[in-house]
A and B are shown apart, each in its own frame.
Chain A
Amino acid sequence: MNARPRLVKAGAVALAAVIAMAVSAGCAARPGARPAVTATARVAVHSGVAAPAIAARSVSRAGAGAAAATCNPDAASLAPLGPPQVTAGSFMAKIRARGFLIAGVDQSTYHFGYLNPLDGQIEGFDIDMIKAVAEAIFGSPGHVVYKAISDAQRIPDILNGTVDIVAHTMTITCARLQQVDFSSVYFQAHQRVLVLKDSTANGLADLSGQKVCATSGSDSATLITHYHAIPVTVPYWTDCLVLLQQDQVAAISTDDSILDGLEAQDPFTKLVGPELTQEPYGLAISKQHQDFVRFVNAVLAKERTDGAWAASYARWVGTPVPAPPAVGYAS
């Protein structure tokens, strides 16, 4: 978070103010900021299958700017109490009695959470984290029901108890921390830019005045606006790749974790430019289930040390495998 440029935060607040009417953010829109343009592209216009995407992510980001002073997203979680243990009366015991863990996941982000068309299974780095948690509860693999949810559903689904846990390339932010709890950081992403191979652009700075794709209301659009590019918004990240393939946008800008997955699906694209932001990913859990937060952190701690985290990283993200993100706890 410390590495995030101040202007990014300001831009985030500005966009959220436009999109979400977050008047309470207390900031006027930057003079140079353009309002996000809803895509005129067909993907967005008749996305019959796509659930409408959401402003939740940017709303929370708006708050992130306001609450940033009092919060450190990299060390906001609860410390584990020893190795993972399902104690009587705990939320984990309830899950065990039910017979399966309910996880809110992404089904369109290649290598993190995606529906593999070859076998119809949801797979990825995020999914591996969920599998580890479920196996720690049940003592055997399986026992997970995946709900493929959109960005907008992540926090509401946690709040109303539709899902037990969310693993969805979800950045820990101070605003979100006021609504839900997060596990310790299990992945560190950075916003970058994806363009076609023959593009001369080397980052958002070169894309001023051009159309750049992001999902609706994602904080990625904030930075696009900041660089005076025109945000084109669609429901899913793969929809952005469709637009890029159809020459309807010049670039896609979001977390490198997501862009890597898009690049892997189209060899005629490349990632360019510097790392623009810090995006620490955490698993989101209800504030009512602090025992479960500590349990999940214990599972992640075990994953980091026994090589499971590195194996999953190597499988989904690639080699060489870096050290896992540094862990800090609030208490």
Chain B
Amino acid sequence: MASTAVSAGGRAGSTVPARPRRFRRFRPTLSTTPGRLRLLLIIGVLLSLAWGALAGFTASQYAAAASSVVATREPLSLDAQQIYSRLSDANDAAATAFLTGGLEPPAVRQRYLADIGAAASGIEAATANGGAASGAAAQDLNTLAEDLPVYAGEVETARADNRLGLPLGAAYLREASGLMRSTLLPAASGMDAAENVSLDATSAQATGLPLISVTLAVGLVIGYLLYRAARWLRRRTNRVLNLGLVAAGLALIVSLAWLAAAYTAGRGDMLAAQARGSTPVEALAKAGIAAQQAHADESLTLIDNSGDDVYQQDYVSEERALGPGPGTLLTAAQAAAAGSPAASAADAAVLDARAWYAAHAAVRALDDKGSHAEAVASVLGTGPADAGVPFAKLTADLSAGTTADQATFDKSAQAAAGDFTALAPGVAVAALVMAASCAWGLSRRLVEYR
């Protein structure tokens, strides 16, 4: 732009005689080489500074998105996932605890308490991490914070009544379970989905192409203008090269290369974090929650004991959703986890699920032929043939996979954030160097005309 403006100004004097008066005033200045040099200097400095602003803005956008993934979106998404899966497990544990006559098995009670504690601290952490500030998820978080204590209170009332041998306990458990299924789990699921959407959106910002493309294109145009300016100057002054313009060009090349390299590395790391981290984690967590809900249905079918098979129907549809098979959660998790550290855990989970389904069929057969106690014992059992074992292994494998890929995500997302470290100040400094070099190089030529 600098050189075209200059040459256009030069041509204007000879080819367009009837220029408006106000433009004529500048003509004497632009028609001389020192005048053009002065203008070139001003334009060069301004372009350098504009480039610094644009490159710095771009760099800070990517850096902010990447560090937001690491510092905000990811923790919130983890909190939401923890709340959802822990509540789902608490629901299952509460049902399972009620399955036995007498005192609930200590391990199941421990599991319930740990779930409630983890869900509560998840809610607290999500609030502290700013989850309460963001839209629909805020409403869900509020519901969770309000109703979790109510739920826990009803479960404890149920437990107290059970300890007195009163069937009233079952009514409180029914109420608690209704609250869980109708209010808490939907809120947790909604918040989890909303946080996953936010995480994906922020990750997409950290890897988005348009901004970086525009910035690099502008940088290349500026580079071309610098080259044209240097060529014009060489012709006009018969010098080989203007060191200032060369230095400015080098600073530009450095900032362009840095931008391109940081972006390429950051995008690679962020995509890896998604592909081998958050995507399989999400898929594994979904499968885990479906497994817990199917297990709660298995228990509720035995508790309900009514021959009315509402819960068994629920179980069947959860089993169908869980898979394995085309379009099922386990197969999706297996596909998502392929090539990630969770791959073997996901493969194992498929085998566990098949074993559990077979054991569940045996439990139903026992219950249907009147051996209710044996059916209950199998669900709660830890022996090799008991249905409790493959289910425990299924959830353990899914959760091991989730943990492994979560670590991958953390590592890669942090690397992505690291790729953008110092990029923004770096390109700003490079732009200042550019501006200074232009000013220095051109003013040296100007001096020669005095």
A interface vs B, CB < 8 Å?
42-43, 45-51, 99-100, 102, 104, 107-110, 114-121, 145-150, 153, 157, 162-163, 236, 238-239, 241-242, 261, 265-266
Contact = CB atoms under 8 A, between A and B. Distances in A.
A109 B170 CA distance: 11
Nearest to A152: B308
A51 B370 contact: no
Contacts of A153: 306-308
A116 B305 contact: no
A145 B372 contact: yes
Given A117-B169, A265-B161, A51 B305 contact: no
Q: Which among B172, B175, B177 has the greatest number of chain A C-beta atoms within 10 A?
A: B175
B94 to A, nearest CB: 10
29 contacts: A43-B175, A45-B178, A46-B182, A47-B174, A47-B178, A49-B173, A49-B177, A49-B178, A49-B300, A51-B306, A51-B308, A108-B167, A109-B167, A110-B167, A116-B165, A117-B162, A117-B165, A118-B101, A118-B162, A118-B165, A120-B100, A146-B305, A147-B305, A147-B306, A149-B307, A153-B308, A236-B171, A236-B174, A265-B161
Contacts of A49: 173-174, 177-178, 300, 303-304
Main secondary structure of the interface of B (DSSP, over half): helix
Interface string B146-187: 000000000000000111011111111111011111110000
Contacts of B165: 116-118
A262 B181 CA distance: 27
Contacts of A150: 306, 308
Contacts of B168: 110, 238, 241-242, 265-266
Interface residues of B, number: 37
Interface of B: 98, 100-102, 161-163, 165-175, 177-183, 300, 303-308, 310, 370, 372-373, 376
Contact of B101 (A50, A121, A162, A261): A121
B308 A48 contact: no
B178 A157 contact: no
Contacts of A51: 304, 306, 308, 310
A2 B306 CA distance: 35
A115 B306 CA distance: 12
B171 A107 contact: no
Closest 6 CB pairs of A and B: A120-B101, A46-B178, A238-B171, A46-B182, A145-B370, A117-B162
Contacts of A261: 167
